Structure 1
Amino acid sequence: MLPEQSRVVDLRAAEVLRQQARGASREAALRFASAVFPESMSAAIALGEQFLETANEAATRYGDDASCPFEGLQWAAACDPSIVRDGLTFVKHIRQFHERMKLTPAPALLQVPGYFKGSPWTVIGHEAEVPWPARAEKMDYELEIGWVIGRTAHDITPETARSHLFGVTIFNDFSARDLQANEFAIGMGPTKSKDFAYGIGPWITTIDEFSRLDRIRMAVRVNGETWGEGDTSEMLWSIDELIAYVSLGDHVQPGDVIGSGTMGNGSALELGRSLNPGDVVELEVSGVGVLRNRMGQRQQGTWWPTARKPFM
Structure 2
Amino acid sequence: MKFARIAITGVDGEEARLVVVQPEKRRVIDLATAWRLRLERRGATREAARRLATALFPASMSAAIALGEPFVEAAAEASAAPAEEAVRPLEGLRWLPPLDPPLIRDFTAFEQHVRNMAARQGGTIFPEFYQRPPYFKINPLGMIAPEAEVPWPHYTRHLDYELEIGLVIGKPGRNLLPEEALSHLFGVTILNDFSARDVQGPEMSSGFGPAKGKDFATALGPWIATCDEVALYDLSMVARVNGEEWSRGSTASLTWKIEELVAYAACGETLWPGELLGSGTVGTGSGAEHGRSLQPGDLVELEVSGLGLLRNRIGQPEPPGWLPKPRQASAAS
Both proteins in one fold, TM over 0.5: yes
1:52 aligns with 2:80: no
- The equivalent residue for 1:154 is 174
Range that drifts further, 98-107 or 276-285: 98-107
- The equivalent residue for 1:136 is 156
1:234 aligns with 2:253: yes
Higher strand residue share: 2
Query: 1:295 is matched with which residue: 286, 296, 314?
Result: 314
The alpha carbon displacement at 1:63 in A equals 5.2
The alpha carbon displacement at 1:9 in A equals 1.0
Query: 1:268 is matched with which residue: 272, 280, 287?
Result: 287
Query: 2:118 is matched with which residue: 79, 95, 98?
Result: 98
Measured in 2, the distance between the counterparts of 1:259 and 1:73 equals 26
Structure 2: tracts of 5 or more residues without a match: 1-20
3-state secondary structure, aligned to 1:261: coil
Percentage of matched positions with identical amino acids: 52
Check whether the contact 1:18–1:61 (CA below 8 A) recurs between aligned residues.
no
The alpha carbon displacement at 1:219 in A equals 0.3
Check whether the contact 2:155–2:320 (CA below 8 A) recurs between aligned residues.
no
1:20 aligns with 2:40: yes
Query: For residues 8-60 of structure 1, what are the alpha-carbon distances to aligned partners after superposition, in whole Å with 9 as ceiling and x for unaligned?
Result: 11110000011111111111110110001001000000111101111110111
Taking structure 1 as the reference length, the TM-score comes to 0.97
The one-letter code sitting in structure 2 at the alignment partner of 1:153 is G
What are the within-5 Å matches in structure 2 for residues 85-234 of structure 1? 85-210=105-230, 212-234=231-253
Q: Which runs of 4+ in 1 moved over 4 A?
A: none
The one-letter code sitting in structure 2 at the alignment partner of 1:277 is P
Measured in 2, the distance between the counterparts of 1:213 and 1:18 equals 34
3-state secondary structure, aligned to 2:260: helix
Query: 1:255 is matched with which residue: 274, 280, 297?
Result: 274
Measured in 1, the distance between the counterparts of 2:156 and 2:89 equals 37
Check whether the contact 2:37–2:83 (CA below 8 A) recurs between aligned residues.
no
The alpha carbon displacement at 1:195 in A equals 1.3
The alpha carbon displacement at 1:189 in A equals 2.5
Q: How large is the Cα RMSD of the aligned pairs? A: 1.2
Check whether the contact 1:45–1:255 (CA below 8 A) recurs between aligned residues.
yes
Check whether the contact 1:10–1:63 (CA below 8 A) recurs between aligned residues.
no
Structure 1: tracts of 5 or more residues without a match: none
**Kindly tell me: are residues 63 and 235 of structure 1, through their superposed partners in 2, closer, same or farther at Cα, counting changes over 3 Å?**
farther
Measured in 2, the distance between the counterparts of 1:250 and 1:133 equals 34
Q: How many residues align?
A: 311
The one-letter code sitting in structure 1 at the alignment partner of 2:61 is M
Measured in 1, the distance between the counterparts of 2:121 and 2:86 equals 50
3-state secondary structure, aligned to 2:179: helix
Query: For residues 191-243 of structure 1, what are the alpha-carbon distances to aligned partners after superposition, in whole Å with 9 as ceiling and x for unaligned?
Result: 10001011110010111112x31111110010111111111111111100111
Check whether the contact 1:91–1:235 (CA below 8 A) recurs between aligned residues.
yes
Taking structure 2 as the reference length, the TM-score comes to 0.91
Measured in 2, the distance between the counterparts of 1:251 and 1:300 equals 42
Measured in 2, the distance between the counterparts of 1:5 and 1:107 equals 48
1:308 aligns with 2:327: yes
